[in-house]
Amino acid sequence: METPPRDPQNCKSQSEQHLLETLTKILTSENFSFESLNPYIPHLSTNPALLISLLNSKTLSQNPNTLLQFYTYLPPSITYNSPLPLVSLLPSILRCRHFHTAKSLLSSFISVDKSSSLHHLLLHPQKINNPVSCLHISKPLLDVSIGAYVACGRPHQAAQIFNRMKRLGMQPTLLTCNTLLNALVRYPSSHSIRLSKAVFSDFIKIGVKINTNSFNILIYGSCMENRFGEAIRVLGKMGDYGCPPDNITYNTILDGLCKKGRLNEARELLLDMKNKGLFPNRTTFNILVVGCCKLGWLKEAASVIELMSQNNVVPDVWTYNVMIGGFCKQGRIDEALRLREEIESLKLSPDVVTYNTLINGCFEHGSSEEGFKLINEMEGRGMKLNSVTYNVMVKWFVKKGKMDEVDKTVRKMEESGCLPDIFTYNTLISWHCKVGKMDEAFQLMDEMGRKGLKMDGVTLNTMLHALCRERKLDEAHDLLCSAHRRGYFVDEVSYGTLIMGYFKHEKASQALRLWDEMKEKGIIPSIITYNSMIAGLCQMGKTYQAIDKLDELLESGLVPNEITYNTIIHGYCHEGQVEKAFQFHNKMVEKNFKPDVVTCNTLLCGLCKEGMLEKALKLFNTWISKGKDVDAVSYNTIILALCKEKRFGEAFDLLAEMEEKKLGPDHYTYNAILSGLTDAGRMKDAEEFILKIAEKGKSEYQFLELGKRQDARTGEILQEPHPDAIAYSNKINELCSQGRYKDAMKIFHESTQKNTVLLKSTYLNLMDGLIKRRKSTSKEHRLT
């Protein structure tokens, strides 16, 4: 009788069952060696069902440590090929409450899971081709998976797993909820913060008992977007959920307000904090010190530090570092260095932040030698230069145009283990933009992306500023819109940059539309943004609208600064409304505005422009008699007005006074006097004046500066020569080359009547020509 043929499928099942039993026996035997499993690994590699059945074995699940050791012994080609083995192993691990181990295993898999196969399995287990049909996606597995995806920097995928739990009626632990919320809030995307608010609402809907920390995270997100009103509303609702606000709650909002210069609102919040029985801690005081220093209120910052001591709160190095930063920002390097010595006298040790702040201050304010000395001192104390130190050096070398040194510093940075970061790239992008190499700047942005560095607000604002400078306003607007769509943080500086670009190129309607768009999107303007808007309106002759913006600024709780007030004063003067400028000045002085030299110069310029020279002289003399500072611009404004009135004696007296006070004269002074003399037809005196300057040896210093246009109010040098300046300069140069100096002086007279400032080379040619003519004339007299 023939033997019936054997069923191949049945034979295979029997073989698998035999292998499963053999492997189970090996793994449960005492003192087994993992090397004894080696002959069976090829079977596990080619038969996923066998491996999954083994990991799901009820016998082995009683000994999760053995299962875990077995899984980790297997080669990555098996364990990382599919998420099924891992998901089959985890129930045994989680039953023993080994949550940290489970999270670590998941994180390792997620880091190499380029196709997101595990994520797909967790969300759609029914769509997975599972060879053993025993897959169980439990609440603990989903809960710990959220933490793993957050740990791997993938909070959006974690949020999708939370949504699946919500649909299944599963409630994550409070720790998991706060971990997810924190990751979304801190992810560099405005979309993530919006998602965090939706997730927070879902926590409440599904019955998660949120705590004060949950609210603190949500408030931090609102402050990140400068939505301080929203943050304060959330603060007000905390009590409804039995979550009393703590110091972290208040400090988070205070920090945001102070960073934006909104000290009035910060004071109100501080009062509310005290009324709730909470006492300011060191962090609170440090935040207030930062706010004062940001506004340049260093005396007030010092008062806060005194208040700390009175409240038995000891200032730390961080507190002093902020003060040092405030002094450095104002160029008061000696005081900053003395404060470093004070730190050491208090038995505190200056840290790397102290040194980096001082080094940056030295480089910014012309003490580079002291800066490099501090770098050597750092290394001598055993402090390792960090990325900030290198970035400060890169910035200084870029500023000086020493690009070879930049390359060397970046190489040294990489060799020390500090990779170039967003700040390094922003510095290089800024330099390329400054020299007009926009293509190279965009290439650097692409390189940043390839290296995993995301464009931040500084990158965006640098590019916007460069495009506006190049008059590429449409491209700037497109960049602003695309950045917003991609989820980058578009802040008030971004909008302010483009708004100023529109105003500069006389496109006021676009500027006002963009302002409205910014407000509609809930982006709160800072004092700098308001100042930009006010300056633009004043520049367009719309000072009355600038006053509306000032009122809006005050209502928002911001504190106007000298720039705000001086800009409006200049706006009135620019429009010829000098009386209104003085009325506004007096009104603001009553509100503690402290006029500075720019205020004085603006009012002097306004009075002189309107022909009120006597009032200008009275203001000038009163200002000096009160011991207030004046500068070269103050003198130049009065000298110019006196020369226009042909009062040369008084002008020359002021010139002598300037020299005595070591305030000049400068190229603007010489232009004013030369213009006045030529306008009065005193060409001989003008020639004599040029020759006197030459005889004093001023040609190498002062005349090299001639040809630069200057803002009469601030002394700011305007870089681009006017087309008329080029035309006049070419004509005068041509006449000088032909020895026709009388004709050259006539053209010079014509140019001064039109207030045209010539190119510096032209002044030098004219001066050299006049000297040659005098020598020639003297020689002729001697011969006769």
pLDDT, tens digit (0-9, with 9 covering 90-100), for 90-114: 888 888 888 999 999 999 999 888 8
The per-residue pLDDT of the chain, averaged, comes to 84
- Dump pLDDT digits (tens) for 345-378: 888 889 999 999 999 999 988 788 898 999 999 9
Q: Is 374 helix (H, G, I), strand (E, B) or coil?
A: helix
Residue 770 banded pLDDT, cuts 50, 70, 90: low
Q: Is the pLDDT of residue 164 over 90?
A: yes
Beta bridge partners, 608, equal none
- Dump pLDDT digits (tens) for 397-423: 888 888 889 889 988 988 888 888 888
Is 682 in the same domain as 737?
Answer: yes
Which pLDDT score, from 0 to 100, does residue 129 have? 62
Q: What share of the chain is helix, strand, coil (3-state, %, to 5)?
A: 75, 0, 25
Is 686 in the same domain as 784?
Answer: yes
Is 224 in the same domain as 287?
Answer: yes
Q: Is residue 237 part of a domain?
A: yes
Q: Is the pLDDT of residue 7 over 60?
A: no
Lowest mean pLDDT among 15-24, 251-260, 330-339: 15-24
Closest by alpha carbon to 433, among 404, 391, 390, 476? 476
Is 247 in the same domain as 293?
Answer: yes
CA angle 470, 475, 481 (to 5 degrees): 135
Residue 41 banded pLDDT, cuts 50, 70, 90: confident
Which pLDDT score, from 0 to 100, does residue 676 have? 83
Q: Is the pLDDT of residue 331 over 50?
A: yes
- Dump pLDDT digits (tens) for 706-743: 444 445 444 444 445 667 778 888 888 888 888 787 78
Distance CA 654, CA 611 (A): 19
Q: Is residue 219 part of a domain?
A: yes
Q: Is residue 42 part of a domain?
A: no
Is 552 in the same domain as 646?
Answer: no
Region 51-76: mean pLDDT is 82
Residue 440 banded pLDDT, cuts 50, 70, 90: confident
Region 297-315: mean pLDDT is 86
Q: Is residue 740 part of a domain?
A: yes
Is 672 in the same domain as 691?
Answer: yes
Is 623 in the same domain as 724?
Answer: no
Region 586-609: mean pLDDT is 88
Q: Is residue 555 part of a domain?
A: yes
Which pLDDT score, from 0 to 100, does residue 717 have? 44
Which CATH number is 234's domain given? 1.25.40.10
Which pLDDT score, from 0 to 100, does residue 5 have? 47
Which pLDDT score, from 0 to 100, does residue 777 have? 55
Is 671 in the same domain as 775?
Answer: yes
Residue 755 banded pLDDT, cuts 50, 70, 90: low
Q: Write down the H helix ranges in 153-262.
A: 155-167, 174-186, 190-205, 212-224, 228-237, 247-259
Residue 783 banded pLDDT, cuts 50, 70, 90: very low
Which pLDDT score, from 0 to 100, does residue 772 have? 66
Question: Considering the chain, what percentage of its residues have pLDDT values greater than 70?
Answer: 89
Q: Is residue 551 part of a domain?
A: yes
Looking at 315, 343, 369, the residue that finishes a domain is 315
Which pLDDT score, from 0 to 100, does residue 131 have? 53
Region 468-481: mean pLDDT is 88
Determine contact, residues 559/295, Cβ cutoff 8 Å: yes
Which pLDDT score, from 0 to 100, does residue 4 have? 46
User: What Rg, from alpha-carbon coordinates, does the chain have?
Assistant: 37
Count how many domains the chain has.
4
Determine contact, residues 499/480, Cβ cutoff 8 Å: no
Looking at 665, 680, 711, the residue that finishes a domain is 665
* Residue 535 tokens, joined: 């300056």
Closest by alpha carbon to 170, among 208, 201, 136? 208
Which pLDDT score, from 0 to 100, does residue 134 have? 53
Distance CA 569, CA 553 (A): 17
Domain that includes residue 650, residue range = 596-665
Q: Is the pLDDT of residue 441 over 90?
A: no
Residue 618 banded pLDDT, cuts 50, 70, 90: very high
Q: Is residue 512 part of a domain?
A: no
Q: E strand or H helix at 718, and its extent?
A: strand 717-718
Is the pLDDT higher at 477 or at 723?
477
- Dump pLDDT digits (tens) for 198-219: 999 999 999 999 999 999 999 9
Region 66-88: mean pLDDT is 86
| Most confident segment among 247-256, 588-597, 754-763 | 247-256
Is 604 in the same domain as 579?
Answer: no
- Dump pLDDT digits (tens) for 272-291: 998 989 988 899 999 998 88
Looking at 642, 665, 688, the residue that finishes a domain is 665
Residue 627's Cβ-side half-sphere holds a number of Cα atoms within 13 Å equal to 0
Question: Considering the chain, what percentage of its residues have pLDDT values greater than 90?
Answer: 30
Q: Is the pLDDT of residue 694 over 70?
A: no
Determine contact, residues 589/565, Cβ cutoff 8 Å: no
- Dump pLDDT digits (tens) for 8-33: 444 445 577 778 788 878 877 877 77
> Which pTM value belongs to this model?
0.56
Is 660 in the same domain as 672?
Answer: no
Region 488-499: mean pLDDT is 84
| Most confident segment among 11-25, 496-510, 718-732, 745-759 | 496-510
Is 696 in the same domain as 642?
Answer: no
Catalogue the long-range contacts made by 536-541 (C-beta closer than 8 Å, 24 or more residues apart): 536/499, 536/500, 536/502, 536/503, 536/504, 536/508, 536/511, 537/503, 537/508, 537/571, 538/567, 538/568, 538/570, 538/571, 538/574, 539/503, 539/504, 539/571, 539/574, 540/503, 540/506, 540/508, 541/574, 541/575
Region 503-514: mean pLDDT is 89
Task: Tell me the residue type at 591.
Answer: K
Q: Is the pLDDT of residue 248 over 90?
A: yes
Residue 612 banded pLDDT, cuts 50, 70, 90: very high
Is 558 in the same domain as 600?
Answer: no
Q: Is residue 224 part of a domain?
A: yes
Q: Is the pLDDT of residue 438 over 80?
A: yes
Residue 607 banded pLDDT, cuts 50, 70, 90: very high
